Amino acid sequence: MPVRRDLAERLAEHVDWLRASAVRFDAGTTSEAKRIATSIRSLVHTTDSSTSLLTQMNLRDSMVWRSAVNMVPSDGETHADALWVSVPSVPGFQPIKGMPEHLTDFETWWRGSLGTVEGVELSRHYFVWHAANVDGGAHVDPRLPDHYDSLSRKGGLKPLRINSAGNSYPDRSDPTPSALRTMCTEIVISIEEAKW
């Protein structure tokens, strides 16, 4: 395992990459969301065969996590608003701008419910895992899971928009890039505040 100095250097690289991806995303290159997902995965996603960078640094589960939405426990479940802005008169979804105001622990931040699509629970883990491991961030699967295909390709959230004539129409936009861009701000600020 690398010495602590090496881990701190890797963390600095990831924070730098996230900041650069945020700038490019905000300038219109929304495909940066997949790079954001891949970096977030490296920072926080631990499995039986891999240990995330923040876990190796003993930060992931001890630091306070910033959230752009209030992760409110209710009946034992964690629920929140979406990680994007959706305006009926504007097509598509936008990331939530500004300082994430709400504080939470890692598990709530990572696995807390952000709604459902086709009966599948949406969470930050869901967006990162699918963008990074399935949809081109670090790996491209030959077939998308039906629920992710519906969400990212077929307008699975089914929002109705209103055009300039006042008529409603279905919006098939993908909220995933905006959710990931919002997460980018959350994680960078959370790491900065942890004073690693």
Record the tokens describing residue 132, joined without a space.
Answer: 């990074």
Is the pLDDT at 164 greater than 90? The verdict is no
Query: Mean per-residue pLDDT for 11-38?
Result: 97
Contacts of 28 by beta carbon, 8 Å cutoff, 6+ apart: none
Is the pLDDT at 3 greater than 80? The verdict is no
Is the pLDDT at 5 greater than 70? The verdict is yes
Closest CA to 132 of 108, 124, 114: 124
Q: How many residues comprise the chain?
A: 196
Interhelix angle 124-133/32-44, rounded to 10 degrees, is 110
Per-residue confidence (pLDDT) for residue 81, from 0 to 100: 66
pLDDT in tens, 73-92: 545 555 556 888 888 888 88
